[in-house]
Amino acid sequence: MGYYWALIKHFITANSRHGTHSPFVYRLAEQVVYAKKTSGVAAVAMPRHFPWGYRLLLQQILPFCGVSGLGTLHEGEDSAAIWVDLDDVSAERILHLVERGKILIVHEPHKREAIWDTLTANELVVVSIDLFHFGMLMHRDGQRKDHFILRYPYWKKNGSKRLANT
């Protein structure tokens, strides 16, 4: 039940693009996350068993971040972005990957909220973006440390399922 309360709290406290004060995150929200029309989906290499529900949105977010491939800890760890599940990896390993310049896409961070909070508070993580169903952790030189809570664009999640069935 706590997970669903966290979802309601996230929905209420999440910012729109106008609630962000980072030029990078504002552009990400404006041009990708909350964009009503997609300007095309880039060819982003994804792991074989990647959840379809997040594919479309990540195929737009990752190229915006300059990333052409998403790997996992078991498949494609040399990719610039890595999909992780907090049940499968330690916080120390995640921080080590962030320190190496990787963008970490964290699956369902609110299912392991204590670990997620520890990661977002760590000084190595300069930018953390919480979309509830997944989060992003990254180190960006020249940017002030901040944590952003953005509302998940459910219309894009549903659109990706339709694409999966075609």
Q: Over the stretch 96-146, which tens digit does the pLDDT of each residue have?
A: 999 999 999 999 999 999 999 999 999 999 999 999 999 999 999 888 999
* Mean pLDDT, the chain, whole residue set: 85
Among 135, 145, 144, 101, smallest CA distance to 115 is for 135
Please tell me the predicted confidence (pLDDT) of residue 55.
86
What single letter denotes the amino acid at residue 96? H
Please give the distance of CA 82 from its chain centroid, rounded to a whole number: 10
Among 49, 46, 73, 75, smallest CA distance to 60 is for 46
Enumerate the H helices of the chain as residue ranges.
2-13, 23-28, 52-64, 91-99, 113-121, 154-164
Q: Which of 12-21, 73-82, 93-102, 143-152 has the lowest mean pLDDT?
A: 12-21
Please tell me the predicted confidence (pLDDT) of residue 77.
81
Categorize the per-residue pLDDT at 13 as very low, low, confident or very high, splitting at 50, 70 and 90.
confident
Range of the domain at 90: 2-164
Categorize the per-residue pLDDT at 162 as very low, low, confident or very high, splitting at 50, 70 and 90.
very low
Number of domains in the chain: 1
Please tell me the predicted confidence (pLDDT) of residue 152.
82
* Confidence (pTM): 0.84
Share of the chain above pLDDT 70, in %: 87
Please tell me the predicted confidence (pLDDT) of residue 56.
84
Categorize the per-residue pLDDT at 78 as very low, low, confident or very high, splitting at 50, 70 and 90.
confident
Please tell me the predicted confidence (pLDDT) of residue 164.
39
pLDDT at residue 159 is higher than 50: no
**Structure tokens belonging to residue 76:** 């494609």
Interval 26-42 mean pLDDT: 80
DSSP class of residue 37? S
Among 68, 78, 123, smallest CA distance to 100 is for 78
- Judge contact between 91 and 84, C-beta under 8 A: no
